[in-house]
Structure 1
Amino acid sequence: MSTSLRERIEALGDAFWLRPAILVLLGVILGEGAVWAEQLDGLRSLLPESWLYAGGEAGARALLGAIATSTIGVAGTTFSITVAALSLASGQMGPRLLRNFVRDAGNQVALGVFLGTFAYALVVLRTVRSVEEGTFVPHLGVTGALLLALVCVGTLTWFVHHIASGINVETVINTVHAELREAVARLTLDRPDAGPAGAPLPACPVTAEQSGYLRALDEEELAAWAAERGATLDLLVRPGDYIFPGTPVARVSPPALAAEAAGPVRDALSLGDRRAAAQDLEFAVRQLVEIAVRALSPGINDPFTAIAVLDRFGELLCRMTDRHLPGPAVLRDGRAVLLRRVVDYDGLLDAMFHMIRQNGAGSAAVLLRLMEVLGAVLAAEQAPERRATLRRHAGLALTAGRQELTERAALAALEERYSALPAP
């Protein structure tokens, strides 16, 4: 799947209205289909008479009206509950976590079921005619409305359970952790990538015209353009960076191609008002860090949530022992045509542990668990450079404990765990 298509699909997930709109359209089509089927005696005869609505015009109107009124009322209640859950999640876990609630397919589908049933009932209701108007009672349509009403009852029960479990911090952590695991599987490699980029060449900068967060970058198109013209593009930004208008985003060599490269480079940048997970490996990491940092704030003081986040980071790093991060150069026919800024192992661990260690330096439980997580990853990781990075963070945790921990027993336990770390 191309980068631009993946980014557009992810952007569609942020549209809360999309699934409800599709279900409303399906409700309209289903209502029209039920009325059309009612006019074909052959289709109606396929169902036993005892299964179909057997009342008259007045009863059909009353029933359809009751279903329409109740479903639109419940849809409003559903929306209110969703907004209340968003407010609670924003205050407890941070406003950037709202993206996960807005993207939740369950909330969208639940609202869509109620609105789709409402649209279905209206479409069928408009076809009911009395004797004066030429009697027509859509028995199939009314029966379908009854079935959809029962579906709405089940959906409401499920929605209450879903929203109650969805605002649980463990559920949110697991959701973001699953997104992070998927990003690691997608953005890391089975084998080491191309080596160092080499010595810099004389180049001319290409500047940005717009501003915003770089949500995605079409590296394949840029590499193809550079290979076709015998050029080398040096990207100065990476997904997740904020782009300022008029600032350099790339350099092109030879400089004579700078004017020609401006269009392809700008077209390859997908900008938005918020970061996206399509190519930004640190995006989900920072979401989990935000949960942990808020939990460690004096107003909440919940070290158990921070410990849960550290456990997820440890699990992810153990899974990454046989994975490789992309290299800084994209090669075509053995030549580096695209130089890029990439996330390295050091930067990934800095994003995971720095803020948690700084905010949890006074919590013995957090520092002890951090040391245990680093020890577990050290036991699984074999690459010397990665082991050096892990031991560096273990040393930082020990230094933070020596500066902040006042209880001698806690500091002694931290030093004991540091001494028990696997040898370099």
Structure 2
Amino acid sequence: MKYKFINFIQRIREHLWFRPLLFCLLSVAAALFSHQADETPLNDLVPEIQTDSLENLLDILSASMLVIAIFAVGSMLSAYSAAGRTATPRSFRIVITDDVSQYALSTFIGAFIFSIVATVALGNGYYNKAGKFILFLITLIFFTAVILIFLRWVDRISRLGRLEHTILQVEEVAAKSLSNYIKNPLRQGVPVIHDFENGKPIFAQNTGYLQQINMSDLQELAEEYDLRVRLNSLPGKFVNENLEIAYVSSNNTLDLTEVSKRINNALQIGHTRLFNEDPRFGLITLTEIASRALSPGVNDPGTAIHIIGSHERLFFLWNDKNREKEENKVVYNNIEVPQIEMSDFFDDAFKPIARDGAGFIEVILRMQKTFSALETINNPEIKSASKKHAKYALNRAEASINIADDLNILKKATL
């Protein structure tokens, strides 16, 4: 239940309306809170604030905030649209969660609601001397916050939606997801090592992408029925009703209908992939940006080279020798979890770029240098995948480049 609540909060926070709604509630509370000061000794200590001056101040705030909020929404929508056109539609979910823009819009709308509520309350004699003074202070705080946030937001909106900034945002999200995976690839479960010859398949009840796995619910089920669960799918996989998403094994007689229902309830299936639980999705999104840049209509190999550099930084996360190793920390000892093959990560990151950039020597050359760098990481799987993809990229280039000098340069740079 706790996991579902946390997941619900995480999902709802991604919506554009969440922070503005929260700020609206806080602004209404602030406007009404000022009245509480009238019941304190502040009435004898604070100076008198003229109602007319306070009303004028609130009128200025309400009139300006409505205009700025409309302008902010228009600018943000333009930035979101630009991100979808120049990068990839998959980046929209990341761009729309930009904290600076959401806080700015929330502040503008919250200040507008505050000024309206305060004006109505002030006109109906809701405040006395102390209440007016507190309302005056809160209004000044809103003015200061609006000015500072607006200046910060103007700098942000000038970059929001631009291709370079979008790439940076996607890379940051991908790095976070990959770091979590590298730290704990088994999700605190156990590796797939046990005999499941008598295991019974559990089929998905919906068709779509597996988005999240509630390991605690699965462990609770396994302990209740004295069974072992082997997951057959990880977040990011597209499942259907004829696909075995898991297997269960037990020495007891099982109510497979109930077990299947509870396992499916622990596995969230949706229409799209999620970045935070799917470490491959960030790599795929970056590669889509590179493929678009290499299309004949765009012809921008520089962006593809930029993406290759992003991939190199992401794979060097495996090189962090100071990272706390938690993969041996088993919490869900009844759940077997498969690991993602390193070859899958490399296929997501480099194969489409090698295909679409085969005719660009600068792109393939940058890839070969990246593979040489990745080969220095003390990880046998990365070393093997680097050599394999270096050869694949060279073969692609040989089929597209007819200049012998260019091919010789690429061969010298190949592992």
Aligned twin of 1:43? 42
Select 1:354's aligned residue among 346, 351, 356.
351
Counterpart check, 1:77 vs 2:71: yes
Q: How does 1:266-345 map to 2 (within 5 A)?
A: 266-321=264-319, 332=333, 337-345=334-342
Q: Which runs of 5+ in 1 are unaligned?
A: none
CA apart distance, 1:4: 4.4
Aligned counterpart, 1:155 = 149
2:69–2:105 CA contact under 8 A, matched in 1: yes
Cα distance between partner residues in 2 of 1:218 and 1:259 = 19
Q: Given that residues 190 and 337 in structure 2 are in contact (C-alpha distance below 8 angstroms), is that contact kept between their aligned partners in structure 1?
A: no
Contact 2:232 2:245 in 1 (8 A): yes
CA distance in 1, matches of 2:110, 2:331: 49
Q: Whole-Å Cα distance in 1 between the matches of residues 108 and 393 of structure 2?
A: 52
**Letter paired with 1:307:** I
State the partner residue of 2:233: 237
When the two chains are superposed, the root-mean-square deviation of aligned CA atoms in Å is 3.0
Q: Could you say which residue in structure 1 is the equivalent of 2:122? A: 128
State whether structure 2 residue 224 is matched by structure 1 residue 225. no
* Inter-CA distance 209–62: structure 2 relative to 1 (3 Å threshold): same
Written as runs of structure 1 = structure 2, the 5 A alignment for 1:8-407 is: 8-37=8-37, 39-40=38-39, 42-43=41-42, 49=47, 54-57=49-52, 59-129=53-123, 138-189=132-183, 196-245=192-241, 247-254=243-250, 256-257=253-254, 258-321=256-319, 332=333, 337-379=334-376, 381-407=377-403
Secondary structure at the aligned position of 2:159 is classed as helix
Are 1:19 and 1:108, in contact at CA under 8 Å, matched by a contact in 2?
yes
The SS at the match of 1:234 is strand
Change beyond 3 A, Cα 1:398–1:238: same
C-alpha spacing 1:34/1:365, structure 2 compared with 1 (3 Å)? same
Q: CA contact under 8 A between 1:128 and 1:136: conserved in structure 2?
A: no
Contact 1:330 1:338 in 2 (8 A): no
Runs of 5+ consecutive residues of structure 2 not aligned to the other structure: none
Gap change, CA 1:44 and 1:414, over 3 Å in 2: farther
Alpha-carbon separation, structure 1, partners of 2:312 and 2:224: 43
Report the CA distance between 1:296 and its aligned residue.
Answer: 1.3
| Cα displacement (A) at 1:378 | 0.6
Provide Cα deviations, 1:97-144, integer angstroms capped at 9, x if missing partner.
1111211111111011111111111121113348xx799673442453
The 8 Å contact of residues 325 and 343 in structure 1, kept in 2 or not, is answered as no
C-alpha spacing 1:360/1:260, structure 2 compared with 1 (3 Å): same
| Displaced runs of 4 or more, over 4 A | 1-6, 44-47, 133-137, 190-196, 322-327
Larger mean CA deviation between 341-350 and 79-88 belongs to 341-350
Comparing 274-283 and 191-200, the one that deviates more: 191-200
Q: Deviations over 1:11-46 (max 9, x none)?
A: 133211111111111111111122332x25733665
* Post-superposition offset of 1:171: 2.1
Equivalent-residue separation in structure 2 for 1:367 and 1:234 (angstroms): 40
AA partner of residue 392 (structure 2): L
Distance in 2 between residues matched to 1:181 and 1:134, nearest whole Å: 52
Structure 1 residue 377 displacement after superposition = 0.9
Kept after mapping to 2: 8 A contact 1:361/1:401:
yes
| Larger deviation, residues 177-186 vs 245-254 | 245-254
Paired residues in the alignment total 405
Quickly say closer, same or farther: Cα 1:409–1:8, change in 2 above 3 A.
farther
Tell me, in whole angstroms, the C-alpha distance in 2 between the residues paired with 1:124 and 1:6.
34
Q: Distance in 1 between matches of 2:236 and 2:126?
A: 64
Deviates more, 1:302-311 or 1:199-208: 199-208
Query: Which stretch shows the higher mean deviation, 24-33 or 382-391?
Result: 382-391
Cα separation, 2, equivalents of 1:72 and 1:65: 11
Report which stretch shifted further, 75-84 or 273-282.
273-282
Q: What CA distance in whole angstroms lies between the structure 1 residues aligned with 2:310 and 2:181?
A: 18
Task: Provide the C-alpha distance between the structure 2 equivalents of 1:45 and 1:363, rounded to a whole number of angstroms.
Answer: 78
TM-score (norm 1): 0.85
1:64 and 1:325, CA in 2 relative to 1: closer, same or farther beyond 3 A? closer
Change (3 A) 1:262 1:139: same
TM-score by length of 2: 0.87
Deviates more, 1:138-147 or 1:175-184: 138-147
Contact 1:10 / 1:278 at 8 angstroms: preserved in 2? no
CA drift at 1:315: 1.8
Q: Secondary structure at the match of 1:298?
A: coil
CA contact (8 A) 1:64 1:142 kept: no
Q: Percent identity?
A: 23
The answer to whether the Cα contact below 8 Å between 1:217 and 1:269 also exists between their aligned partners in 2 is: yes
